[in-house]
A and B are shown apart, each in its own frame.
Chain A
Amino acid sequence: MAPPPSPDHPSPQLLGQRFLKAGCITQPQLDDALAAQSSPLSTGPDNLIGRILVRLGYLSPPQLRACLVELFTEECRYYRDHPPSSPPILAMRNVEKRLDGRMVLNGIDLEIPRHCITAIIGVSGGGKSVTLKHLIGLMRPDRGQISIDGENLQSLSAKKLQAVRRRFSLLFQGGALFDSLNVYDNVAFPLRETTPIPEHEIRPRVLQALSEVNLAGMDAKFPDELSGGMSKRVALARALVTQPEVILLDEPTAGLDPIIENSIHHLICDTFMRTKTTMVIISHAVPAIFHWCHHVIVLHQGKVRASGPALAVWESSDPVIRQFIHGELDGPIRVL
Chain B
Amino acid sequence: MFIFLLQTLLASLTPPWRWRNLIKQIHFIGMRSLFVIALTSIFAGMVLALQGFYTLSRFGSEALLGPAVALSMIRELGPVLSGLMITGRAGSAMAAELGIMRIREQIDALEVMGVPPIHFLAVPRFLAGIIVLPLLTSIFDVIGILGGYLVAVQLLGLSSGTYFGGIEAAVAMHDIHTGLIKALCFGIVITWVCSFKGYFARRGAEGVSHATTSAVVLSSVLILVSDYFLTAIML
Contact = CB atoms under 8 A, between A and B. Distances in A.
Interface string B160-204: 000000000000000000000000000000000000000000000
B109 interface: yes
B104 interface: yes
Contacts of B108: 133, 138, 172, 176
A176 B109 contact: yes
Contacts of A158: 116
Given A172-B105, A194-B115, 19 more contacts: A133-B108, A136-B112, A138-B111, A158-B116, A162-B114, A163-B114, A166-B113, A168-B112, A169-B113, A170-B112, A172-B108, A172-B109, A176-B104, A176-B108, A176-B109, A178-B106, A179-B100, A179-B106, A194-B113
Contacts of B116: 158, 162
Interface string A172-199: 1010111100000000011001100000
Chain A interface size, under 10 / 10 to 19 / 20 to 34 / 35 or more:
20 to 34
Nearest to A138: B108
A175 to B, nearest CB: 8
Contacts of A172: 105, 108-109
14 contacts: A138-B108, A162-B114, A165-B114, A166-B113, A170-B109, A172-B105, A172-B108, A172-B109, A174-B104, A174-B105, A176-B108, A178-B101, A179-B100, A193-B115
Contacts of B109: 170, 172, 176, 178
A130 B104 CA distance: 15
Nearest to B107: A176
A165 B112 contact: yes
B107 to A, nearest CB: 9
Task: Please give me the 9 A-B residue pairs with the lowest Cβ-Cβ distance, nearest first.
Answer: A166-B114, A176-B109, A176-B105, A165-B114, A170-B112, A162-B114, A193-B115, A190-B113, A172-B105
Contacts of A177: 106
A130 B114 CA distance: 19
